[in-house]
Structure 1
């Protein structure tokens, strides 16, 4: 019955022209409905004088009726379409079953192919997938169990001798034990719950984490410095390649110029010698022609029968037939050319030998460039001791040197030092006698509210200038770490870098220099060494340790310092 009613409605809502469901239905004045495009196409096929009639009832209209869309019929057609083709009901999504892989923790309760475990129970000592875990959320007794992320380490939480959970901690022997162990082998020991011991260890955790974070920062600094060193090496190599290309181009240009000059000399000599030879050739050819002419006259004279004429002509010919000195210009081309060839060959040999010798030096330098493992602890740095001594001839008049020139203090009191060209006139600072051209490390201790500057400097630094002209860290010839109780900073020329004050507040500072590698590093030294600052640069002169000392402050060498693998020993300053 329902199907019959549906067919009747579908027939009523169909266009009698295209026999399909109405599209944009319009109703004409006689009451019949059609698709707008169908009725318009039907009426537009005739001429201007055609009659407009209904295709069903044949009712005729004087003019073409207005075709307005019947919205009610349009809605009914849409509802009929939905009833005829109902939208597909989306299927319930299937539950994905995640099976355990080789690296996953598997469920201990799955039979056959095991699913991946999501939780482990510390009370059940088993791991569960999502489906087998449900009782722990529903059963009241199981809800009290401690659940953790799935782990393979459950067996490690079991006491091997007693097959029980490790749930207490023996402070006496510093180990996890079960309750049976506490009553047997650990009777009388200081036993606490694991949660209590965890809380105690948690207090130390922050300090340990702080140490690791500090080490991470140090290693990251070292990594950054190493990257900068690599970039510096690459840049230096590129500059060296470009410079060598330029120099070789100039050398080739010079050789080409000399080659042209030699070629011109050879051609000039050739032109001179050939000119002389050509003139000699011309002279000889004329002489030969003259001799042939006289020879012909003699032949002709021998045939004459006039004795008087013969005697007269013969006398004249015989007078000019005597030997004549013919000018001769010797041609010696081989000797100059041989000498020139020898000279060029000698020059080539000298150039080859010079290039080979110089390239050999460069190869030696390149072979030396290597990454040398730096010492990590103060003991490693100080395993072989060598002393540094402050140079009294460089000390400013406000500085008092003591302890065999191992200590310097700024007492404001002017010292009666003799005049010396190496003495610093204005900054209260002093240089050491010993220069550095290798790997070197030393430690100093400082004190005083005004602080100190721990520097390395070239010997060429100004001594007479006022202020920044000769102050350590303010010039291109020096590098300085400024230390005070409240502030640390590093200075070189116009660059200044603020440095966090060390946590240990140690007044002992270690200074490390690798001259060839261009490395300068400062360390805060206590029970451990922590990096304060590191510089990667290129040193062009020997370095000398130096100290800038504030008012009522002092600095002294700690124990002894070590010089590692110096390139060359430098004489002490007078």
Structure 2
């Protein structure tokens, strides 16, 4: 009896509104709908002049004449009366559901006050509240439909060309397609189901998350060691001040001036050491924050059930961020005044000249120690490639900034111009008009990197993070504003451009590799042609007021720029 009742309910339900048929009509393919529902559905196709059945997709042209099915109307009215007499529990359940709140998804079937949707159907392409989703659980014809968490982006699950459900992934073109696409423009490509590709990508994402968590642990260990060294430094400095006070309080008034000088020197040494350590501390804390934020995004993506949404978000999170190559500054946490104590004990009668001699030596060693830790070439530019490789940094391209005409590959180390735009999601940091892309990592201190290219028209640039991302080249192009500095490649010749002013580069080079050196604090930017030797193309001396980011502009079809892997030394002391 229950099965027969369900079949009757299935027959008398409109596939569009999922309610009992109202003024039922039967179209030529044999399916029945509410008169108002099918009119509204076909009204959207009036401009095309081609109409189809919402269930079987059978196409009609011209538009069929709709006549009321009196038999179905009588049966539906009878069923409606039975519902009213039985006071169905579904009505009570629907009344208990709260209206849609802020950020919720509306039920597409509710009339009047919209209730909150609990599920979306990938076959019906509709979202349903608790009451209206029941037919999908009870009616056999709907039980094969794919239900997911309520989503407002159901139209994104449709192929923009064929209006069919996206359920296949093309590995050749790295995009989601429908079954008609498989037989059309993706014929012969390597394709799998979206669910299978999600499983494969999920494995990669889990590995990326594991690496991310390992990076967090390693960086936290570095931060812990740094904090320990800083605390030791503070205690040692405090102990040195206390010893110094004890020694000088026993001396005669004639050496009071020397006591004051020694205190100042110890504090100055502490300040120099701590300033270097605190700067490094900020960088390590920022890297941990970035890694934690990315780990949170990875966890959220792993919990995503929708394979299409998963795959569309996968590319921007799949590649782990590279270490910024933060330099390590050695800290000398211990201060010693043993020489001073010995001098006072042995030569009390000659305290004044002895202390003058000692304090002079202490001043010399204290003030020169920090500069000795500065890498060679700080006050003059390096001359050999090995000198520059000491400052090599690891860079990766940021998918969230890439123009849709650009494709990233090789663990986000290669950018290539494509003939067809990539289906990147919308992002406020993306260049929408100019074919440009930025690197993910900021350039800290002194940095050096190299790129390989096959372009005859492109840019190699550095810029501030707040460079304009929207609009034409005159607004957001590298070198077209005061926030970017760009070496422009034209065949075998180069131009340098900043704030719309171009400078001709007299050097002609056929090398396909360019090296870039930046010293942010000194305001130095250099471009080199790399072959058997390094040839300086252009040098800039300016003042950088914000963190810098490497960027590239690529304009010819199939042209590419690749960030080179360089062996680098994180200890640049």
Q: How does the TM-score come out when normalised to structure 2? A: 0.34
Max Rg structure: 1
